Chain A
């Protein structure tokens, strides 16, 4: 037989391998050592993620190996998203510890599943092949279903898990059928090869097949990133899932799916660019408006965050609609900027939770400035960043997104985006008002002590948001460089 094992340096897989080993250690050793070494669990997880980050970062200047390994790409685009996903994973681990020990559910399996889900995401963003992408996607999805249902004794959690599972599995079927039609039209799974074949296709029936597969993939990935009208699952799942898991899902699984969406659409559907950009533009407008208006009505902050995360996907899609050049690099940047503020707010919900009793209404934030001024300051920074007010990173992100939209002619859409941001100001500021203007609902101020890991998480997030907000240059260059590597391919 003439087929041989592809010859490639193993170092390109080090980040995934480190996480896999660490996940196995966490899952199997944790069982053996029972509860005695609980505090070490999160440290093992955290430091392995840091090590993986180092390995992934060191691949930045790696030569492209796409000829050798047809199914796994190590380009800057993939590495950028890997680093973003690892940051999300690390922050999730930091904010989980307190929540889990409060409810006495800290277990090796939890951290193991978070790491395994991250591996799935990382494989997804590196996938150069629809099969690789599909398997990464499913690894992430199945781990997410389990994590959402992690609190089996909590009614909301297992129900969220069931809903997420049924809708998610249904949705994977749709994505898969889209992939099957794509394979039918081109005869290959490799994205680069697909790009070549698609540009040569001329038969109307084959183009029709591609068209159907595009519809199915837009719907499928639209579901994964929770864009309107495929968002129905998100509020329920985020509200029901344990808070750190909700943070992880709303940041991680969306970022990874968005990365894949950009890669698949720009590379495989290059021929249809104008068509899908138009669809994405409509979806983006709907998502921005609906997400923000629905968030306005929520009193439960966790549910409000779910709708606000839907709205933020709308902003990112706006960038995607306005073209590969400027728009998509703005999307990359916004995805990075958004995760800090988003996880930050979920972290503040964790901080307010006491002994496993959720404190999720706006009223629970009242008087936070008096109970813990630093935390109140941090939450204010997160909210400002989500609204997009300088000098926070959110402003820079939105600025580039809207500018890209205007430059590519989507002026109406940019106006919708700005309007949507104004709407979002109302519900974000409601929390700020509660924190600074109102008296504490309960005077039990002593209980509000962030644990060490939560404290670190808060300071990292605030630092990054302010640093990027004041000095965005390096991040912008990074995003541009990452995106240029995807263009070589196409």
Chain B
């Protein structure tokens, strides 16, 4: 077991834990956090491969992912607030105007 193997397993693990979370949780904010887990898993994979290949492209990708994650979180939380103003609850399954 070397360093790359361990971090790669960590990244893959985060990705799949995140996916499972998105599929099984219903609270919008928790789903958002699971999406952050997915993005972190991806980032760790990028950086591990960057380490393996010895080029910096993977790290550049990772920093862009962080930028996008920040933008996504801001917009997502704004939407959650907009929805929350109308509904006192933010559990996804309690929306039934449109079928889920």
Contacts and interface: CB of A to CB of B under 8 A. Distances in A.
A156 B95 CA distance: 10
Nearest to A178: B42
Interface string A159-191: 111110110011011101101110110011100
Q: Size range of the interface on B?
A: 35 or more
A188 B100 contact: no
Q: Is the interface of A mostly helix, strand, loop or mixed?
A: helix
B97 A134 contact: no
Given A162-B28, A183-B49, A184-B45, A145 B79 contact: yes
A162 B22 CA distance: 14
A75 interface: no
Interface string A178-207: 011101100111000000000000000000
Nearest to B77: A165
A16 interface: no
Contacts, number: 119
B68 A138 contact: yes
A310 to B, nearest CB: 15
A212 to B, nearest CB: 10
Interface of B: 15, 18-19, 22, 28, 31-32, 35, 38-39, 41-42, 45-46, 49, 52-53, 55, 57-58, 60-61, 64-65, 68, 71-72, 75-76, 79-80, 82-83, 85-86, 92, 95, 97-100
Given A173-B19, A180-B42, A183-B58, 20 more contacts: A131-B61, A138-B68, A142-B75, A145-B75, A145-B76, A145-B79, A146-B79, A155-B86, A155-B97, A159-B98, A160-B98, A161-B83, A163-B98, A165-B76, A166-B28, A166-B31, A177-B41, A180-B45, A188-B57, A189-B61
Interface of A: 130-131, 134-135, 138, 142, 145-146, 149, 152, 155-156, 158-163, 165-166, 169-170, 172-174, 176-177, 179-181, 183-184, 187-189, 236, 239-240
